[in-house]
Amino acid sequence: MLAQSLGISPNYLNEIIKSLTGQPASAHLQRKMILEIKSYLLHTNDQVAEIAYRLGFENIPYFNRFFKNIQDLHQ
């Protein structure tokens, strides 16, 4: 959606981001997602499943693996 709003292809956007930061766009999106998850966990009383659904995850076990795997990478 971001690439489309900028009028460029997703591949070109990824190339630009990677050339500027050394990391693909997906790494930046994952970091942003982790910050959102942490914020919900810290500042709401929502259950993990509610947070997962709010952020577009329909499979709770996948959400848990995503969160754990990304956390492991950033430690």
CATH number of the domain where residue 22 is located: 1.10.10.60
Report whether pLDDT(19) > 90.
yes
pLDDT of residue 9: 94
When divided into structural domains, the chain yields a total of 1
Look at residues 50, 48, 53, 75 and name the one whose alpha carbon lies nearest to residue 64. 48
From CA 20, how far away is CA 55, in angstroms rounded? 27
From CA 24, how far away is CA 15, in angstroms rounded? 8
pLDDT tens sequence across 26-59: 888 888 888 998 899 999 999 989 999 998 888 9
pLDDT of residue 2: 83
From CA 71, how far away is CA 42, in angstroms rounded? 15
Look at residues 30, 70, 33, 72 and name the one whose alpha carbon lies nearest to residue 54. 33
Please provide the average confidence, as pLDDT, over all residues in the chain: 88
Report whether pLDDT(75) > 60.
no
Q: Residue 8 — pLDDT band, cuts 50, 70, 90?
A: very high
